[in-house]
């Protein structure tokens, strides 16, 4: 019989075509609400493959109870929502959707940086609320981006794509990464810096490193305190890299000029979260890769990853070391 695949949200039919011809596919009926845990457990027990989202916690318990499961295909480049160690032990393959979302996510990261620097949400709200009575010389004056120093923490594909955009804005580019990225240095003129040097010198500290044991909570109060008080903190990676209480204190004490956040420690972030109370914080609901084109491409790649594995090929976007 055909393999059974469960998809944890409703995706457009066109994006899952690679799977429809070879598998029995069931999707959680909603696209704006995560699948309840009980239903996910039930499905995981009978599925050969799961197509999952960043909002699903695919932990050891779930993987251990999934006796037929061969593949978890995450519709995201990040995979911190999946217990990779457990998947490895159990021989379950894990896939992600790199590359196709790189430029889209870099665009959003740069938009967030520009929005925070030039106070776009504040300015749009000012107009929408009927406050624009007169032009004034210092009305909603923000901070320049061009010719400033950007410090990119995490110089992978997305970090490099942000560096290219920064080069177009004549920015001085610093980066910090586990290892040197000579290609990015050559293409963008970025210069490698120690974490502390980057934090002290950058006018925009941009977090694009993946969430791992090593990067968890790496942005603490004392890190924000080392930043210039005219500098901005931008995060388009994962909220788990930030000690949010530390960031709130730094903002309260005006140790930094503002922040642009697409991600939070707990998502969806609650409306009364203190980070949402600052006029100089631009907050977005985790939309880094959210263009129609890219979300379609991500659904297709996540589907193709499963199809390849079920056909016995090695998928392009395998996260764990196990081979088929």
Number of amino acids touching ligand GLV (CB under 6 A): 14
Determine the interface stretch with ligand GLV among 95-103, 143-151, 190-198, 251-259 (rule: CB under 6 A): 95-103
At CA 114, angle to CA 110 and CA 119, rounded to 5?
150
The torsion angle over the Cα atoms of residues 298, 82, 106 and 299, rounded to 10 degrees, is: 10
Determine the interface stretch with ligand GLV among 10-18, 72-80, 108-116, 223-231 (rule: CB under 6 A): 72-80
247 lies in the binding site for ligand GLV (CB under 6 A):
no
User: How far apart are the C-alpha atoms of 318 and 314, rounded to whole Å?
Assistant: 8
Binding mask 158-177 for ligand GLV (x = CB under 6 A): xx------------------
Nearest alpha carbon to residue 167 among 143, 146, 195: 146
226 lies in the binding site for ligand GLV (CB under 6 A):
no
Kindly state the tokens that stand for 142.
Answer: 């923000």
Active site residue 286: yes
Residue nearest to ligand GLV (CB): 156
What secondary structure does DSSP assign to 101-114, as a single string?
Answer: THHHHHHHHHHHHH
The residue (of 54 and 256) whose beta carbon lies closer to ligand GLV is 54
Nearest alpha carbon to residue 191 among 203, 175, 206, 207: 175
The residue (of 157 and 304) whose beta carbon lies closer to ligand GLV is 157
Choose the catalytic residue: 37, 183, 267, 314.
Answer: 267
User: How far apart are the C-alpha atoms of 177 and 154, rounded to whole Å?
Assistant: 5
295 lies in the binding site for ligand GLV (CB under 6 A):
no
Active site residues: 238, 267, 286
Residue numbers of the site for ligand GLV (CB under 6 A)? Answer: 54, 76-78, 98, 101-102, 156-159, 208, 288-289
């Amino acid at each position: 019989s055909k393999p059974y695949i469960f998809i944890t949200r409703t995706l457009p039919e066109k994006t899952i075509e690679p799977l429809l011809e070879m598998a029995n596919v069931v999707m959680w009926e909603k696209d704006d609400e995560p699948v309840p845990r009980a239903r996910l457990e039930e499905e995981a027990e009978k599925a050969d493959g799961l197509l999952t989202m960043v909002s699903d916690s695919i932990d050891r318990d779930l993987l251990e109870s999934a006796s037929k499961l061969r593949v978890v295909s995450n519709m995201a480049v990040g995979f911190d929502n999946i217990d990779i160690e457990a998947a490895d032990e159990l021989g379950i393959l894990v896939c992600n959707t790199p590359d196709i979302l790189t430029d889209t996510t870099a665009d959003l990261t740069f938009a967030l940086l520009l929005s925070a620097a030039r106070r776009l949400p504040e300015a749009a709200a000012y107009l929408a609320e009927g406050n624009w009575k007169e032009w004034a010389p210092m009305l909603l004056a923000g901070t320049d981006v061009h010719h400033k120093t950007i410090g990119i923490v995490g110089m992978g594909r997305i970090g490099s794509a942000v560096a290219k955009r920064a080069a177009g804005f004549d920015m001085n580019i610093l980066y910090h990464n586990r290892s040197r990225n000579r290609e990015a240095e050559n293409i963008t003129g970025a210069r490698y810096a120690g974490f502390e040097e980057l934090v002290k010198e950058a006018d925009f500290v941009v977090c694009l490193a993946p969430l791992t044991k090593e990067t968890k909570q790496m942005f603490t109060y004392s890190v924000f305190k080392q930043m210039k008080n005219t500098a901005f903190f931008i995060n388009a990676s994962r909220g788990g890299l930030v000690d949010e209480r530390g960031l709130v204190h730094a903002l309260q004490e005006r140790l930094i000029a503002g922040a642009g956040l697409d991600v939070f420690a707990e998502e969806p972030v609650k409306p009364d979260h203190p980070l949402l109370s600052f006029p100089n914080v631009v907050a977005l609901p985790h939309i880094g890769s959210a263009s129609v084109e890219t979300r379609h491409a991500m659904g297709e790649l996540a589907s193709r990853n499963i199809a390849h594995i079920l056909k016995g090929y090695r998928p392009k976007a395998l996260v764990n070391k196990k081979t088929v």
